Amino acid sequence: MADTLEEVDRRTHLHPFTSISEHAGRGPLVMREGRGVRLKDVRGREYVDAMAGLWCVNVGYGREEIVEAIAAQARRLAYYHSFFSMTVEPAVQLAERLLRMSPWPMSRVFFGLSGSDANDTQFKLVWLYQHLRGKPAKRKIISRHRGYHGVTVASSSATGLPVVHARMGLPLPGFLHVRAPHAYRESEPGVREDEFVATLARELDETIRREGPDTVGAFIAEPVMGAGGVLVPPKTYFSAVQEVLRRHDVLFIADEVICGFGRLGRTFGSEVFGIEPDLVTLAKGLTSGYVPLSACLISGRIWSEIEKHAADIGVFGHGFTYSAHPLAAATAMANLDVMERDRLFERAQRVGAHLQKRLRDELEGKSIVGEIRGLGMIAAVELVADPRTRRPFEPARQAGVRVFRKLLEEGIIVRALGDSIALCPAYVIEPAEVDQVVGALGRVIDEIGADLQAGR
Ligand SMILES: Cc1ncc(COP(=O)(O)O)c(C=O)c1O
């Protein structure tokens, strides 16, 4: 008899961010089709995907308009490149559209394929800019512990999660990490929010002074941190951070890979927090994941320096075979059309408010629920052994993974970020589906909580 798909996969495929030993035993879950927020696997089982894939399928699965746009572009011209002054029609249109959507004075767009490569591009742009203005040593990159910026060599160096560094000799020298604005874990009980913000700003200032302001090129941050646990900063955090950065002439890279395109209810997450970035990284929601694409928005300040030295520089020595890929650009155009036509950013704000309220109504006060946090259409529930003291579970007890697995059995897909359970659904999720997901999460937390507290 032929091997099953699962057996073939176990023999052949090295899966990203997957436990090697568990995969060898449990095998993959093979998805086959999707519509809206619903997925079906090859065995015919159905799921509500409360994670929009990997925080990206913002318009939902199976959008015919997008599929048609991809097919039409593939028939016309499936590939041409953007090296040597070449380009394709949808890439021209998309670059112009992204600059128009930006509330900040942005001057150019560079296209890549993933959030990771886009952040690498941003670091190179920082290094180029600082070099051109006569400060070639001003190249260190500061990010936050728990920040997620990707897994290429430079972007994983900026990522503040040990799992992407361990045994690989990372981060590279010149990448520094400061504390995350996560009061629940990083602040002492009784400390006011404004005091916590002042402490974090002071630490950033001290880090820059210690390293030498002439060696620090840029700071990179997600408006709301995603993979690090869905961490929503205090309202005044970014204004305090920006004040420090301005004082030391350090650039701000806004990593909008998750927050961009409506996730927090505004076009960009940075708008919610008053961030005024020099560089903006976009991916995921740009195409709702239908085809890989990322974009770097480059501010007038940086672009004018590059333009000034254009004759000197000659060829811009950076770019990918698939930069500005026509299928990806056509996908993004169709995806943004859908978002505009169906007013999905407004919907994200409205349904997001329902999600946030339902989570608090349903889960607050449960015996293993520590913090419930989130904004717009992204949220997390942190499970703890003792909510009163915030004592976490021993990692070996796998509280988060157990909740994830039990929900998966019930046909609901969430994500376990350690013991924080993340939700990040497509904007098209119905309020009744939100209720279904939150209701199931509450039941499963009760059930697994009882087991954990009984030592099982
Ligand atoms: C904020 C952020 N930046 C960058 C990335 C990396 O993107 P990619 O996985 O497309 O390389 C991610 C991926 O989850 C992300 O959440």
Can you tell me the mean pLDDT for 408-419?
98
pLDDT confidence band for 205 (50 / 70 / 90)? very high
pLDDT at 27: 83
pLDDT average, residue stretch 91-112:
98
| 148 Cα–ligand 1 center, Å | 7
pTM for the predicted model, two decimal places: 0.98
- Ligand 1 pocket check: which of 17, 56, 122, 148 to mutate, most ligand atoms within 8 Å of Cβ? 148
Place of tokens 């028939």: 75
pLDDT at 3: 92
Which residue's CA is the closest to the ligand 1 atom numbered 3?
149
Pairing of strands 378-383, 369-375: antiparallel
What integer pLDDT is reported at residue 389 of this predicted model? 95
* Atom 7, ligand 1: residue with shortest CA distance: 115
How far, in Å, from the CA of 54 to the mean position of ligand 1? 9
Choose which residue among 116, 253, 288 to substitute to test ligand 1 binding: the one with the highest number of ligand atoms within 8 A of its C-beta: 116
Residue 116 Cα, ligand 1 centroid: separation in angstroms? 6
Task: Tell me the residue ranges of DSSP E strands in 138-242.
Answer: 140-144, 175-178, 216-221
Q: Is the pLDDT of residue 428 over 90?
A: yes
- 8 A C-beta contact, residue 172 and residue 159: no
Residue 33 has pLDDT above 80, yes or no: yes
Atom 8 (ligand 1) nearest CA: 115
Average pLDDT taken over every residue of the chain: 98
Tell me what pLDDT residue 312 has: 97
Cα 254 to ligand 1 centroid, rounded to whole Å: 12
| Distance between Cα 282 and ligand 1 center (Å) | 9
Q: How far is the CA of 144 from the centre of ligand 1 (A)?
A: 15
Assess whether pLDDT exceeds 80 at residue 1.
Answer: no
Residue 338 has pLDDT above 80, yes or no: yes
| d(CA 42, ligand 1 centre) in Å | 27
- Quick check: 189 pLDDT over 90? no
pLDDT of amino acid 137: 98
Rounded to the nearest whole angstrom, what is the distance from the C-alpha of residue 313 to the centroid of ligand 1? 30
CB atoms within 10 A of CB 318: 13
- Enumerate residues lining ligand 1, CB below 6 A: 54, 114-116, 119, 148-150, 222, 226-227, 255, 257-258, 283
Give the pLDDT mean for 76-102: 98
Q: Does position 63 have pLDDT exceeding 90, yes or no? A: yes
Of all residues in the chain, what percent are helix, strand and coil, respectively (each to 5)? 45, 15, 40
pLDDT mean over 184-204: 96
- Which has the closest alpha carbon to 226: 295, 294, 283, 172? 283
Q: What is the pLDDT of residue 120?
A: 98
pLDDT of residue 302: 98
DSSP 218-265: EEEE-SSB-TTT-BPPPTTHHHHHHHHHHHTT-EEEEE-TTTTTTTTS
CB neighbour class for 118 (10 Å; exposed up to 12, middle 13-18, buried from 19): buried
Q: How far is the CA of 44 from the centre of ligand 1 (A)?
A: 30
Q: How far is the CA of 418 from the centre of ligand 1 (A)?
A: 18
Mean pLDDT of all residues in 61-66: 98
- CA of 3 relative to ligand 1 center, distance in Å: 34
User: For residue range 214-254, what is the model confidence (pLDDT) as tens digits?
Assistant: 999 999 999 999 999 999 999 999 999 999 999 999 999 99
Mean pLDDT value of segment 291-320: 98
User: Percentage of residues in the chain with pLDDT exceeding 70?
Assistant: 100
Atom in ligand 1 nearest the alpha carbon of residue 152: 11
Q: Given the DSSP bridges, would you call strands 175-178 and 140-144 parallel, antiparallel or unpaired?
A: parallel
Which residues sit opposite 216 in a β-bridge? 140
Task: Tell me the C-alpha distance between 281 and 180, whole Å.
Answer: 19
Counting ligand 1 atoms within 8 A of each CB, the residue from 159, 225, 258, 261 with the most, and so the one to mutate, is 258
Ligand 1 atom nearest 151 alpha carbon:
11
The residue contributing the CA closest to ligand 1 atom 4 is 149
Handedness of CA 449, 451, 455, 456 (dihedral sign): negative
Residue among 156, 164, 257 whose CB has most ligand 1 atoms within 8 A, to mutate: 257
